[in-house]
Structure 1
Amino acid sequence: MKPWPHCQSPREETVRARRDFAWPKLLTADGRGIAFGGDYNPDQWPEDVWDDDIRLMTQAGVNTVALAIFSWDRLQPTEDHWDFGWLDRIIDKLGKAGIAVDLASATATAPLWLYENHPEVLPRDKYGHPVNAGSRQSWSPTSPVFKEYALTLCRKLAERYGANPYVTAWHMGNEYGWNNRDDYSDNALEAFRAWCRRKYGTIDALNQAWGTTFWGQEMTGFDEAFIPRFMGADSMVNPGQKLDFERFGNDMLLDFYKTERDAIAEICPDRPFTTNFMISTDQCCMDYAAWAEEVDFVSNDHYFHEGESHLDELACSDALVDSLALGKPWYVMEHSTSAVQWKPLNTRKCKGETVRDSLAHVAMGADAINFFQWRASAFGAEAFHSAMVPHAGEDTKLFRQVCELGATLRALADAGVQGSGLAASDTAILFSAESEWATRSETLPSMKLSHWHDVRDWYRAFLNAGARADIVPLAYDWSSYKTIVLPTVLILSDADTRRLAGFVQAGGRVVVDYATGLLDERFHTWLGGYPGAGDGLLRSMLGVRGEEFNILGAGAEGEPNEIRLTGTGDSSTMDGAVTRLWQNDVTVAGPHVQVLATYAGEEADEWELDGTAALTRNAYGAGEAYFLGCDLGVSDLTRFVSGWLAVQPQSSRQPQVNSQSQSSRQPQVVGATPDVLHTVRQSDDAIFDFYLTRGRSDVELRGIAGEPIVLFRAERGSDGGAYTVHRNGVLVVKRPNPSL
């Protein structure tokens, strides 16, 4: 693949080594195609249903399934008895029908006999209660007993199916951390002490990192290190200790995954390995930048967020997944055809969204579209979770949509989409798992912070401004981007601060928001004024010095709960913007700082902020650094992006766009492209443009070059380059790669 301008470096060069990329083959003549299918649980059904399943899979275009994810008890019904016969039969049936198998290690749930015989494998919550069996992941990753049984199962599976031509990939575990992310068992305590010993070397270093002179917590040896169990209803946990416990939990589960993977790889080294991440802007519990190094291809489970942000949230989550995949193809291992059953509000998908969501994942770099699950369960906790075949069977709207999707994915594969890479933006929004963990601390000025939600809000602001940003882990190389945004990146190390300063000095543009760079990697506050990261280097780069935070909230009865901003000088871009949570009380400390907006009005005066700088820009080296000293909503962030970052269209081949408003059926001409999510995927010889409508309005596109590959809820006009794309519609066109 030829490089896309400015996109290769941040995706192909990370600060750590990783496994070579390997993609599972399909059972097609050349092994290629966009993978399509889902979790298949034949052990929930009588065998006389299996042939009907395969008939319907063939009808829908299913070419891969994930198998045996929760089947340990069927494979090993007692400690001394194994039963692989049923799995042999279904793998053989699937393979002969041309359906590849992504075979699970089956360790997500253990048989009840294991828990009964060895209750010590159960994790414990912070109160000391066992996390009992009956759900998923009811096991401690630090339990040597559980690991022994799990690895025995892995080796049995590898020995039996490692050479099976129908098994083309290994699916390790399932959603690691879903129920055992934080384990407070005695096994975990001993493992945590060993982890601290490896990390810090000496007890003095650990005492310093955790700041144990506060509240008399100094330790004289690692055997006094403790995990943050329940300390009282109103007690606050040492934040440095809690952050390390988060890191430890991530590392223990990652180590368990690697141990399972390696047990199979010793016997079956020639099949790719993956596990399903859980990345959406409502969950991202692991440091997936570290996990991505240990899989052969990146996989993710994503479930939609109902409401008007549905598509934007999907694209934001996918943007991080694509960065983790370093621009290589990645797998949607699970999403839903319609409603789930585990939310307070379980809405079904709107007209077109079942297909649209799947094509949106492809637009963001996915080459595999899979659902949970193939056939809706007749019983159990997820019986009312939507599936590819619903309870009402094949003569349903939902199954017809599944078949339509299968045909559409085949068309995309035939056109050559598979293996193409997602073109990068020139803007990167930085994501940090550690900052996300840190925002959950109860020791911060506000407990309403959310790093990941702020990333999402910035992402939406760029879309609203007619552009698209990438989401890139802080640990990766983002030096080739033109603009970097740091939303609530609470934790900045000295090294990362120096990377930022070097980026700006070399001509880059950085945007730092209101709660960034307050803490180092030990959860120690940087001193000398806010934001103090890098012993004041971040302050110097921004040209401001903060003295205090001003926190607002509805709980302060009779006091203002919002403050307005006003532009300064000739600038009116941010007039009327509103901050409702957090304001920095800063003074301008640099000779080249331009104040773009200040706090203004009676509410600002109430807190001695009237006239205080709220938004600033500073020249630093050959670049510039912006400071947003307060929280802003998506609409105000959009104004900032459009007004001050001077966002240019994301492609030199922007179409003309007409948008049909909700109040009128007549198209309305608009000046930018906020009504369309436009992404570009590129192969050696072709470029694929994906256009997805973002709102409820029909959108008319003109000047579209290329051959239409997909017209989903879209029509081509009499002018060859004109199209109308309806709500939840998708247009995909193919054009030659101009770099050839």
Structure 2
Amino acid sequence: MTSSTAAASPTAIPPSARRPFRWPALLTETGRGIAYGGDYNPDQWPEEVWDDDIRLMKQARVNTVALGIFSWARIQPTEHTWDFGWLDRIIGKLGETGIAVDLASATASAPMWLYETHPEILPRDRYGHVVNPGSRQSWRPTSPVFKRYALDLCRRLAERYGDNPAVTAWHMGNEYGWNNRNDYSDDSLAAFRRWCEAKYGTIDMLNEAWGTAFWSQHVNSFDEILLPYHMGGDSMVNPAQQLDFTRFGNDMLLDFYKAERDAIEAVCPDKPFTTNFMVSTDQCSMDYAKWANEVDFVSNDHYFHEGESHLDELACSDALMDSFALGKPWYVMEHSTSAVQWKPLNARKRGGELMRDSLAHIAMGADAINFFQWRQSEAGAEAFHSAMVPHAGEDSAVYRGVCELGEALRTLSDAGVQGTGLRRSRTAILFHAESEWATWSQTLPSMRLSHWHDVRDWYRAFLDAGKRADVTPLAYDWNGYETIVLPTVLMMSDDDVRRIAAFVRDGGRAIVGYATGLVDDRFHVGLGGYPGAGGGLLRDMLGVRGEEFNILGGEADGEPDEITLTNGMTTRLWQNDVTSVAPDASVVASYAGPDAADWELDGTPAIVRHPYGKGEAIYVGCDLKRGDIARLLAELGVVGVAGTETDPRIIHTVRESDTVRFDFYLNRSRDHVAVNGIAGEMIVAQRVDAASGASDACAIGRNGILVTRTNVTKTSRK
């Protein structure tokens, strides 16, 4: 695959808001290398097992572990007793073996005695029911009582281990928001009222933003504000109120994280801090574009999506992670060696996927590969979650795969992969957490919208067209790209629209999807026709005006449930009824055929191309299948014409510095795929067959991966 020239790396807005990048050292001679290991829970096992753990870690080339994530009850067995002895001993054993420790604040799960002593820290659900202890995160982020106990634990850990050379990083909490994202307690209500007052300043501003004139929801003071509790039956929550509550939940957990971090940093300021995000296209609970500003290095927990989208979804999620990291190295804090136990379908990994998935993360910019967990639990809720040492022990395919991966990561470390940057694409698909949250509202024309899934589908369509796109937060700077794509970016502020219009006016290309820009950041619909965001500026840029939405679905018995376009493409969910097109716009495709006529859309523009300033805007006014998107990209010239792109069955990425380049080739198909034009020294190859008589060609099999290394000079870089 021919790699694109590097675009300008996206940066946070404003850059000064971000903490300086700091990466945890390993206990190697240089402190460098790709980090490899996983969550380690020695407190689940008798101490006689620990030496065997250390032996197996050394054998697998493990060089780091995350320690103590769920160990609060072991560290503080009762309110007035502390037991650090076991933690001292295991940190000592790990450090002596050369295994670095990412030490947790241990606050993810409180001990049962704390819940018994202070039941007021328990969250409540939207029905008013107490969320009882026994799982993770059964505490209120806004509870002053819980915070007091949690920060005391943080300070004690910092005082005891801040100077320990084996502890090279701090791991705050764990997957914040997994169980307490939305809390409807009295503490939360009081905090939400304060949050609203800080955001809006006056109650009149809040009433305007929430549109409280509808359904007689006007409030006279911030003390009258309520949470979006269950309101009976299928009652619909005020969408602006619900969105603000979702924003509030994000901010309260971020504030709690910062309080933990700051408590430890006051004692131990010289080691980096992180917390593990949860970025995959099945979960997007936090606004990680904001969270990324508050960590020293970005880390993520990623679990594969079963089925044919497995590798594509991984690459899409990783593309967003690399943007959060601003092109700096990032950390895979958790993924799985094989099956998990928490999905409706817990598929295991096929042969080669343990290695392939791990190196795919490296190919997308990660410099750390860690699993949950080291040793598979004998009991508890995650006993059937795969691990590096499975129930079958070291004489197992999984552990042998873990050892093979350790060797491959050592090879990549020795070759100099660590610290190299991922080469950018020319295209950025824009991601917006608040637009994803907005699609959760039960007040939209369709309940089947998903911004994140549309990002994934467009990402996969680019792969199908033989190109790789980046995925970048809407809030970041994407001006270095040639093309931006906005799939179901439902919510756009006036400032967002102005930035996009300026991008196009200055020579960029924007592809805008069918459900983009329908509401502003207050969940107000823009008037004058669709899409209404930006006071009409988005319509002007696109050269279109719509009046209604046509929504299809199998629920309407006897009605057409799909509509074809004049170019042969098909739409099955949503069609915008575009009633006017700018004189200088060109209609790429219209709705056509008997089903379009039945819905009174025959001849209505579906895809429109419009010059704007020095650039162009492309409006895709209906949902399209992935294959149709890939075809559209080629027909519009966003990617090369058919036959000029690389085999779409291969994902090709480049990581590089001023002196070295690494090419990663991953097979995303079930076929053996021939790859030609390979340059450099082959340093890692799994399921790769050399081509007969050719030094620059090979065939990569299913779940195969090839990594090559080439020395370069500044003048030879493209």
Does TM-score exceed 0.5, indicating one fold? yes
What one-letter code is carried by the residue in structure 2 that aligns with 1:723? Answer: C
1:620 matched to which residue of 2? 612
What one-letter code is carried by the residue in structure 1 that aligns with 2:674? Answer: E
What one-letter code is carried by the residue in structure 2 that aligns with 1:238? Answer: N
| Distance (Å, rounded) in 2 between the aligned partners of 1:150 and 1:274 | 17
2:381 matched to which residue of 1? 381
Cα offset, 1:607, TM superposition: 1.2
- The yes-or-no answer on 1:694 pairing with 2:686 is no
Residue 701 and residue 40 in structure 1: after superposition, are their counterparts in 2 closer, same or farther (change >3 A)?
Answer: same
What one-letter code is carried by the residue in structure 2 that aligns with 1:337? Answer: T
Cα offset, 1:589, TM superposition: 3.0
Whether the aligned pair in 1 keeps the contact of 2:123 and 2:140 (CA below 8 Å) is yes
Whether the aligned pair in 2 keeps the contact of 1:15 and 1:476 (CA below 8 Å) is no
Residue correspondences, number: 711
| Distance (Å, rounded) in 2 between the aligned partners of 1:624 and 1:601 | 29
Whether the aligned pair in 2 keeps the contact of 1:376 and 1:388 (CA below 8 Å) is yes
- The yes-or-no answer on 1:729 pairing with 2:697 is no
1:663 matched to which residue of 2? none
Cα offset, 1:712, TM superposition: 1.3
| Distance (Å, rounded) in 2 between the aligned partners of 1:418 and 1:648 | 32
For residues 10-21 of structure 1, the aligned pairs below 5 Å read 10-11=10-11, 14=14, 17-21=17-21
For residues 23-422 of structure 1, the aligned pairs below 5 Å read 23-422=23-422
Q: Kindly, what percent of the aligned residue pairs are identical? A: 70
Cα offset, 1:130, TM superposition: 0.9
What one-letter code is carried by the residue in structure 1 that aligns with 2:497? Answer: T
What one-letter code is carried by the residue in structure 2 that aligns with 1:535? Answer: G
| Distance (Å, rounded) in 1 between the aligned partners of 2:31 and 2:601 | 64
| Distance (Å, rounded) in 1 between the aligned partners of 2:237 and 2:392 | 50
Cα offset, 1:11, TM superposition: 3.7
Cα offset, 1:17, TM superposition: 1.4
1:682 matched to which residue of 2? 656
Cα offset, 1:615, TM superposition: 0.4
Cα offset, 1:643, TM superposition: 1.4
What one-letter code is carried by the residue in structure 2 that aligns with 1:338? Answer: S
| TM-score, scaled to structure 1 | 0.95
Cα offset, 1:670, TM superposition: 9.6
2:598 matched to which residue of 1? 606
| Distance (Å, rounded) in 1 between the aligned partners of 2:475 and 2:644 | 39
Cα offset, 1:5, TM superposition: 4.9
| Distance (Å, rounded) in 1 between the aligned partners of 2:17 and 2:328 | 16
Cα offset, 1:395, TM superposition: 0.5
| Unaligned residue ranges in structure 1 (runs of 5+) | 567-574, 650-656, 658-668
Task: Indicate the SS of the match to 2:115.
Answer: helix
Whether the aligned pair in 2 keeps the contact of 1:698 and 1:727 (CA below 8 Å) is yes
2:634 matched to which residue of 1? 642
Cα offset, 1:724, TM superposition: 1.6
Whether the aligned pair in 2 keeps the contact of 1:15 and 1:477 (CA below 8 Å) is no
| Distance (Å, rounded) in 2 between the aligned partners of 1:546 and 1:265 | 53
Residue 15 and residue 238 in structure 1: after superposition, are their counterparts in 2 closer, same or farther (change >3 A)?
Answer: farther
Whether the aligned pair in 1 keeps the contact of 2:12 and 2:18 (CA below 8 Å) is no
| Distance (Å, rounded) in 1 between the aligned partners of 2:564 and 2:579 | 18
Q: Deviations over 1:333-390 (max 9, x none)?
A: 0000000001111110011001100000000000000000000000000000000000
Residue 385 and residue 151 in structure 1: after superposition, are their counterparts in 2 closer, same or farther (change >3 A)?
Answer: same
| Distance (Å, rounded) in 2 between the aligned partners of 1:196 and 1:16 | 26
| Distance (Å, rounded) in 2 between the aligned partners of 1:448 and 1:720 | 50
| Distance (Å, rounded) in 1 between the aligned partners of 2:212 and 2:606 | 36
- The yes-or-no answer on 1:593 pairing with 2:585 is yes
Cα offset, 1:418, TM superposition: 0.2
| Distance (Å, rounded) in 2 between the aligned partners of 1:520 and 1:80 | 52
Cα offset, 1:14, TM superposition: 4.6
1:660 matched to which residue of 2? none
Q: Which moved more, 1:75-84 or 1:702-711?
A: 702-711
| Distance (Å, rounded) in 1 between the aligned partners of 2:581 and 2:668 | 42
| Distance (Å, rounded) in 1 between the aligned partners of 2:210 and 2:714 | 54
- The yes-or-no answer on 1:579 pairing with 2:543 is no
For residues 450-529 of structure 1, the aligned pairs below 5 Å read 450-529=450-529
Cα offset, 1:74, TM superposition: 0.2
What one-letter code is carried by the residue in structure 1 that aligns with 2:185? Answer: S
Cα offset, 1:46, TM superposition: 0.4
2:647 matched to which residue of 1? 673
What one-letter code is carried by the residue in structure 2 that aligns with 1:705? Answer: A
| Distance (Å, rounded) in 1 between the aligned partners of 2:301 and 2:568 | 40
2:549 matched to which residue of 1? 549
Q: Deviations over 1:661-682 (max 9, x none)?
A: xxxxxxxx99632010000001
Residue 210 and residue 564 in structure 1: after superposition, are their counterparts in 2 closer, same or farther (change >3 A)?
Answer: same
What one-letter code is carried by the residue in structure 2 that aligns with 1:735? Answer: T
Task: Indicate the SS of the match to 1:135.
Answer: coil
What one-letter code is carried by the residue in structure 1 that aligns with 2:580? Answer: V
Cα offset, 1:735, TM superposition: 1.0
What one-letter code is carried by the residue in structure 2 that aligns with 1:293? Answer: N
Task: Indicate the SS of the match to 1:19.
Answer: coil
Residue 608 and residue 381 in structure 1: after superposition, are their counterparts in 2 closer, same or farther (change >3 A)?
Answer: same
Q: Deviations over 1:35-69 (max 9, x none)?
A: 00000000000000000000000000000000000
1:665 matched to which residue of 2? none
Residue 16 and residue 638 in structure 1: after superposition, are their counterparts in 2 closer, same or farther (change >3 A)?
Answer: farther
Whether the aligned pair in 2 keeps the contact of 1:356 and 1:730 (CA below 8 Å) is yes
Whether the aligned pair in 1 keeps the contact of 2:306 and 2:347 (CA below 8 Å) is yes
Task: Indicate the SS of the match to 1:10.
Answer: coil
Cα offset, 1:251, TM superposition: 0.1
| Distance (Å, rounded) in 1 between the aligned partners of 2:229 and 2:645 | 56
Task: Indicate the SS of the match to 2:30.
Answer: coil
| Distance (Å, rounded) in 1 between the aligned partners of 2:709 and 2:61 | 23
What one-letter code is carried by the residue in structure 2 that aligns with 1:215? Answer: W
| Distance (Å, rounded) in 1 between the aligned partners of 2:15 and 2:238 | 30
Task: Indicate the SS of the match to 1:240.
Answer: helix
1:705 matched to which residue of 2? 679
What one-letter code is carried by the residue in structure 1 that aligns with 2:649? Answer: D
Task: Indicate the SS of the match to 1:359.
Answer: helix
Q: Cα RMSD between the aligned structures?
A: 1.3
Cα offset, 1:284, TM superposition: 1.1
| Distance (Å, rounded) in 2 between the aligned partners of 1:329 and 1:617 | 38
Task: Indicate the SS of the match to 2:10.
Answer: helix
Cα offset, 1:699, TM superposition: 1.1
Q: Deviations over 1:393-428 (max 9, x none)?
A: 001111000000000000001000000010110100
Cα offset, 1:716, TM superposition: 2.7
1:654 matched to which residue of 2? none
| Distance (Å, rounded) in 2 between the aligned partners of 1:505 and 1:698 | 44
What one-letter code is carried by the residue in structure 2 that aligns with 1:420? Answer: T
